[in-house]
Amino acid sequence: MKIGFIGLGNMGAPMAANLARAGHKVSGFDMATVTVNGVSNARSAAEAATGADVVITMLPNGDILRAVAAEIIPAISQGAVLLDCSTVDVDSARSVAQDAEAAGLLPLDAPVSGGIGGASAGTLTFMVGGSVEAYQIALSLFEIMGQKSVHCGTSGNGQAAKICNNMILGVTMIATCEAFALADKLGLDRQAMFDVVSTSSGYSWSMNAYCPAPGIGPKSPADNGYTPGFAAELMLKDLRLSQQAAEASNADTPLGQAATELYRAFVEDEDGKGRDFSAMLPRFEGKRRS
């Protein structure tokens, strides 16, 4: 396919490189000067999108997505797929999809899970909203860039799935870190704590696959000084998106709301910015009950 790729940052660049390595003709654009192996540089987003069979965007937020979409939709050929892999608010995803459909395009919102490592290795998971027709066209690209894609329904549902998943992740990581800090204060050995919880009803991805305690369980960012695998500020972004969606849909999410406030304080008032989201553990270690 001929692919336009807009947004060649930490995630977009390796995704575009994997597509080019697989034999697709990829034209890329980013506001920063970026060189990606196998990807030709376009002079503008509209130039990257012109004549493409699929246009992929990987952008920081909904406002930027809306602005870029307004620029590129008129340049994209009718019948082409507009595939947005950004993590943005549901309303922005659905608004862009509506504009794309009106222009005769096939929109998909497909935020990802797997981080920079997954983008480089081609092992991302895509949560996809949009038509079955568009999904089938893009499926071979998902298989190059990732290990799994799930069609979640109509436009916006990919974003809905991502923010619901990450709300669970934020809440469970906080609970895991609280439990380790409590275990420490009770004199319970961390390895014993892990051995019990990881094989019983406290089992979770946060405990078993991404343990926040250094030296416990599989290797994780905790073993590298909490250098981010998934930065705390990105978790805060996703939690804020979940609460924006909860407010818009009148959903009661008290734990999601509490997790949002804890990560806000961690990132904005404490030392969480630039650290992995599992660095909540040393935060709780130093806290006393209020």
- pLDDT tens digits, one per residue of 129-142: 999 999 999 999 99
pTM, entire model: 0.92
Confidence of residue 177 (pLDDT cuts 50, 70, 90): very high
pLDDT at 290: 79
* Residue 115: pLDDT over 90: no
Average pLDDT over residues 260-267: 98
Average pLDDT over residues 38-65: 97
Query: For residue 114, which phi and psi values (nearest 5 degrees)?
Result: 135, -15
As annotated, the active-site residues are 162
